[in-house]
Structure 1
Amino acid sequence: MISPSLPPDLRAALDKKLEGLARDDIAARAAQISKTYRDGGNSHAIASPVDALAYALVRMPATYAAVSACLNALCEARPDFAPQRLLDVGAGPGTASWAAAETFASLQAFMLLDINAALQTLALKLGKENPRLATMTCRRDAHALDEVEAADVVIASYLIGEVSEAERRALAERLWSKTRDTLLVVEPGTPAGYARIIQLRAQLIASGAHVAAPCPHDRACPLVPPDWCHFAQRLPRLRAHIQIKGAELPFEDEKFSYVVLTRGPATQRLSRVLAQPAINKVEVSAKLCTANGLGVAKVQSRDKTAYAAARRWRWGEAVEDVNRP
């Protein structure tokens, strides 16, 4: 399992980029970029090296934390998975590639696709600080996704929400066509982000995909509105992160929705904890998504071994399916 914190070499690379720059200017650019995204804009708002660095300082820590949590879930479901080639689509400053490099020592080739020149340039510069990522290649031409070689693992993090609904279905098929083995798609943990994930999930299951995580089944999601499937990863804020965001707390919680799809069916079907369990002296009560649908596990304190294990359950974890009266 990898940590949600940025790797030391990436933190050092970001700090080096900040040297000699006015923090107030970086903070102002970061605020404007964030506002653009909140208003429905996209990465076109990032037009200069300063813009790219501002974006990276604000978003890389949270994106890395979310992607690392998803990759940890993938490794839990498929502990023997050892991909050699990664395709990072909508790579931005290369955040998902860093998380994948930390997760899989087997990765030897990293291909990053992003239409934004400033972000792609930053990704290449940051990658030089890591011996494995220093060999990454990048493309930003319009036909890159159709022309690149397929990869063992394909990642699209915080990407599908930047295209129209009509484009999204075509993009999903293109991503799947480039997936030799496993596709990870991550979106914000909002009802809208979850809806995009569920739509893509259903579309690709119909094309032959199987779910490895977070769902323990390939059937339709059993949740009904206003409920939605999302998770949270707590991460520490770096000093520069706090300064640029004007934050007060030394941590933040990144909420995300995701799906891991594979070419072959999963070999094990562990239940997923869908909310932080309620714990008292009598029992642990946890909302689970199981192979048979939604359920509530109630683990009584009189069963000391099971109760002790259930007390350690956390939101988003995969657990043995228990349902004790």
Structure 2
Amino acid sequence: MASRTYGACVLCQKAAVVKVMCRGMSAAAHPQSQVDFLKGEVHRKHPGVTNLKTLRLPEELQTAARSIIHRAQVTQLTDRAHRLTNLLWSRKRAVEDFTLRQKAVSLEKQLWEKAMETRGDIDEQALEDRVRKKVFSELRRTTYHWTPMKYDEEFGVVYMAARLAGGYAAVRRAINEIKKRDPSFAPQSLLDFGSGLGTVAWASHSCWGDTLKELVCVDSSGPMNILAERLLKGDDERAEPHIKQVYFRQFLPVSPKVQFDLVAAAFTLSELPNAKEREEAVFTLWRKTSSYLVLVENGTKEGHQMLMEARDTLLKKQEKTVHDPRPASVFAPCPHKLMCPKLTVEPTMPCNFQQMYQPLPLPGHHDRQTEKFSYLILTRTEPAEAETKGVDWARLIAPVQCRTRHVHCRLCCPDGQLQHLVVTARKQSRDVYRCARSSNWGDQLPIIQKVDDDVQSDSER
């Protein structure tokens, strides 16, 4: 019996030695796993992690919002807030005139061909009038009717109840990408186009409150500017604003030479009536950008496609007059400058991300909610070489699925392809495997292995 026990112990020791040797061989087989892409951080805090825990509004902002909502005493506030949220989520771009004309011509041609087959002795003028009426009727029935959002004080309070916390969460998560990946960035000036309730100013102040000296909020709605100012003062006209040097304007600064370190437009492009105005707005904002331009929209097909329009505008088109020759480069979320691969896959799916947050404590609001959004950050400065030296960083575009000894990751890669990668400690290295297990939707992942049998494109799947 003792000999059997001794033999078992010897076998266990041998197995342990073999396991250690295998680990050493694995590390030798993946010399890049020993590179300092961790930068001294533990795996769960590796440099690619930009996700935030459940966000909560700053205490001063939440207290002010509750005070304003309570004093406004809006009837059926909860129901109206839910309806507005659904309306904004389902909102689409206005149909372009050119598209509408094409659709009308095609429809008229079909109706004429059908009428000519069965018309008999019908008067041609009467037939033409009938076809025209049918075309107009069909266009009215099938065309999305876009109308601008108009805010008075009461509707602004409804918007506050519906979107203040979610909008803040999306912006705060987007700019956290800059905060995490460019720690030396210390902006002194901010321009927020379509500022609404001032969520961009609050989110930026939470990141760079020590350095920001000038915050310009531009919104064409006077009532929204008044509400934003009340929020800054804690709903007390005689109080000092919680954030100093915030200036409200209804129009953008005229001079093209005036630039801001950080320029943002959150949920604003969707409020512009056509592609031409969106393009002009994007060029104007880029002219005023000294370092970073941040664009945020709803995480829908419409929101994503508007951001891709803006991306193409700044990467592929040239302004007539160039005031700052430094070119635009994509900082986030795209790991490449190629066409978004999500636009080439059928059915088309938006590239979006999510952030957990605590809503305003109002009736009908749950303890925790999820904001789904799309964003785009462009910069005039090239990404630091040290950040990606020796490692390609891909973006996780779906939740990570952790399984026993392997992790399923769906990635947008630096080569412009969507990939499904099964990460294991044996094939990708222990460091990459542990980083993958600690990552989540929206984070970046250091991909060392090239595409092989363990990687499938989404189209192949």
TM-score by length of 2: 0.64
Give the secondary structure class of the aligned counterpart of 1:211: strand
Q: Tell me what 1:236 maps to.
A: 358
Cα distance in 2 between the residues matched to 1:187 and 1:11: 23
Cα distance in 1 between the residues matched to 2:172 and 2:355: 9
User: 1:79 aligned to 2:183?
Assistant: yes
Deviation at 1:260, TM superposition (A): 0.4
Give the secondary structure class of the aligned counterpart of 2:439: coil
Question: Do 1:77 and 1:213's aligned partners in 2 also have CA atoms closer than 8 Å?
Answer: no
Q: Tell me what 1:27 maps to.
A: 78
Deviation at 1:34, TM superposition (A): 4.4
Cα distance in 2 between the residues matched to 1:36 and 1:180: 35
Question: Do 2:191 and 2:217's aligned partners in 1 also have CA atoms closer than 8 Å?
Answer: yes
Q: Tell me what 1:222 maps to.
A: 341
Cα distance in 1 between the residues matched to 2:253 and 2:395: 33
1:112-157 per-position Cα deviation (integer Å, ceiling 9, x unaligned): 000011110011111224856242101114xx34348321100000
Q: Tell me what 1:197 maps to.
A: 307
Question: Do 2:432 and 2:446's aligned partners in 1 also have CA atoms closer than 8 Å?
Answer: no
Choose which of 378, 396, 401 in structure 2 pairs with 1:273.
Answer: 396
Cα distance in 2 between the residues matched to 1:150 and 1:253: 34
Cα distance in 2 between the residues matched to 1:265 and 1:20: 49
User: 1:308 aligned to 2:434?
Assistant: yes
Choose which of 63, 66, 69 in structure 2 pairs with 1:12.
Answer: 63
Question: Do 1:43 and 1:116's aligned partners in 2 also have CA atoms closer than 8 Å?
Answer: no
Cα distance in 2 between the residues matched to 1:165 and 1:237: 33
Choose which of 266, 270, 277 in structure 2 pairs with 1:161.
Answer: 270
Letter in 1 for 2:201: S
1:49-108 per-position Cα deviation (integer Å, ceiling 9, x unaligned): x32122112101001111111011122332211110000000001011110111113211
Q: Tell me what 2:422 maps to.
A: 298
Q: Tell me what 1:320 maps to.
A: 446
Question: Do 1:197 and 1:259's aligned partners in 2 also have CA atoms closer than 8 Å?
Answer: yes
Question: Do 1:298 and 1:323's aligned partners in 2 also have CA atoms closer than 8 Å?
Answer: no
Cα distance in 2 between the residues matched to 1:118 and 1:26: 18
Q: Tell me what 1:146 maps to.
A: 254
Question: Do 2:435 and 2:445's aligned partners in 1 also have CA atoms closer than 8 Å?
Answer: no
Cα distance in 2 between the residues matched to 1:123 and 1:41: 24
Question: Do 1:77 and 1:266's aligned partners in 2 also have CA atoms closer than 8 Å?
Answer: no
Structure 1 301/53 Cα, relative in aligned 2: closer, same or farther at 3 Å?
same
Give unpaired runs (5+ residues) of structure 2: 1-49, 92-145, 235-239, 319-326, 455-461
Greater mean deviation of Cα atoms: 91-100 or 208-217: 208-217
Give the number of the structure whose alpha-carbon radius of gyration is greater: 2
Question: Do 1:113 and 1:145's aligned partners in 2 also have CA atoms closer than 8 Å?
Answer: no
Deviation at 1:31, TM superposition (A): 4.9
1:162-213 per-position Cα deviation (integer Å, ceiling 9, x unaligned): 1111211111111111111110001111111111111111111135210111
Deviation at 1:215, TM superposition (A): 1.2
Deviation at 1:32, TM superposition (A): 5.8
Question: Do 2:57 and 2:358's aligned partners in 1 also have CA atoms closer than 8 Å?
Answer: no
Deviation at 1:11, TM superposition (A): 0.7
Cα distance in 2 between the residues matched to 1:214 and 1:70: 9
Question: Do 2:264 and 2:295's aligned partners in 1 also have CA atoms closer than 8 Å?
Answer: yes
Question: Do 2:82 and 2:162's aligned partners in 1 also have CA atoms closer than 8 Å?
Answer: no
Choose which of 332, 348, 351 in structure 2 pairs with 1:213.
Answer: 332
Letter in 2 for 1:214: P
Question: Do 1:151 and 1:178's aligned partners in 2 also have CA atoms closer than 8 Å?
Answer: yes
1:275-324 per-position Cα deviation (integer Å, ceiling 9, x unaligned): 01121103101011222223333221555544332111100012222448
Greater mean deviation of Cα atoms: 300-309 or 177-186: 300-309
Q: Tell me what 2:99 maps to.
A: none
Give the secondary structure class of the aligned counterpart of 2:357: strand
Give unpaired runs (5+ residues) of structure 1: none
Cα distance in 2 between the residues matched to 1:304 and 1:264: 33
Cα distance in 2 between the residues matched to 1:127 and 1:34: 24
Cα distance in 1 between the residues matched to 2:165 and 2:359: 8
TM-score by length of 1: 0.89
Cα distance in 1 between the residues matched to 2:285 and 2:242: 24
Q: Tell me what 2:139 maps to.
A: none
Q: Tell me what 1:96 maps to.
A: 200
Question: Do 1:29 and 1:51's aligned partners in 2 also have CA atoms closer than 8 Å?
Answer: no
Greater mean deviation of Cα atoms: 96-105 or 11-20: 11-20
Deviation at 1:29, TM superposition (A): 4.6
Question: Do 2:205 and 2:243's aligned partners in 1 also have CA atoms closer than 8 Å?
Answer: yes
Question: Do 1:94 and 1:112's aligned partners in 2 also have CA atoms closer than 8 Å?
Answer: yes
Greater mean deviation of Cα atoms: 151-160 or 250-259: 250-259
Cα distance in 2 between the residues matched to 1:289 and 1:32: 34
Q: Tell me what 1:177 maps to.
A: 287
More strand by share: 1
